[in-house]
């Protein structure tokens, strides 16, 4: 037999389904008046909760949600970022093609050490900004999940 009283969780388990309780808990419930009183209180509480009528809205919830959703955008608005990114990429590719000989001369004139001293901070900055942008995106998505 247990020397101290059952926890609230154990009492609730007893009230909801006594067949799932351990023998020690069942024996304790037979002899402990304090735990039996708490079990009776939980039975009344559960019966009261089950006896309540289902909640019903007195307004059209679907209409309110639909008002909050953004309207459909046209094709230009939907793909504007992709058009812009493609344009910037095209400018870089065309610029690189026309300046390829000058870029090769610049690359060959730089010593490898100077080239690495330029390349490493630039790559580190790009990685840092990429992670920062991803974290900001995740924070915004979490905020959206709460609405």
Per the CB < 8 A criterion, the answer to whether 36 and 44 are in contact is no
Confidence of residue 1 (pLDDT cuts 50, 70, 90): very low
pLDDT in tens, 85-104: 889 899 989 988 888 888 78
Q: How many residues does the chain have?
A: 147
Cβ of 42: how many Cβ atoms within 10 Å?
16
User: Cα–Cα–Cα angle for 93, 97, 98, nearest 5°?
Assistant: 120
pTM above 0.75, yes or no: no
Question: How confident is residue 121, by pLDDT bands cut at 50, 70 and 90?
Answer: very high
Q: Is the pLDDT of residue 2 over 60?
A: no
């Amino acid at each position: 037999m247990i020397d101290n009283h059952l926890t609230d969780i154990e009492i609730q388990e007893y009230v909801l389904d006594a067949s799932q309780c351990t023998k020690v808990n069942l024996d304790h419930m037979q002899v402990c008046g304090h735990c039996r009183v708490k079990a009776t209180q939980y039975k009344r509480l559960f019966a009261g909760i089950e006896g309540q009528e289902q909640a019903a809205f007195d307004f059209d919830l679907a209409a309110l949600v639909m008002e909050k959703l953004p309207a459909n955008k046209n094709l230009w608005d939907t793909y504007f970022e992709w058009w812009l990114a493609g344009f910037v990429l095209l400018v870089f590719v065309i610029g690189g093609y026309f300046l390829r000989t000058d870029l090769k001369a610049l690359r060959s004139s730089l010593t490898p050490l100077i080239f690495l001293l330029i390349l490493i901070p630039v790559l580190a900055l790009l990685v840092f900004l990429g992670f920062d942008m991803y974290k900001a995106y995740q924070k915004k998505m979490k905020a959206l999940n709460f609405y």
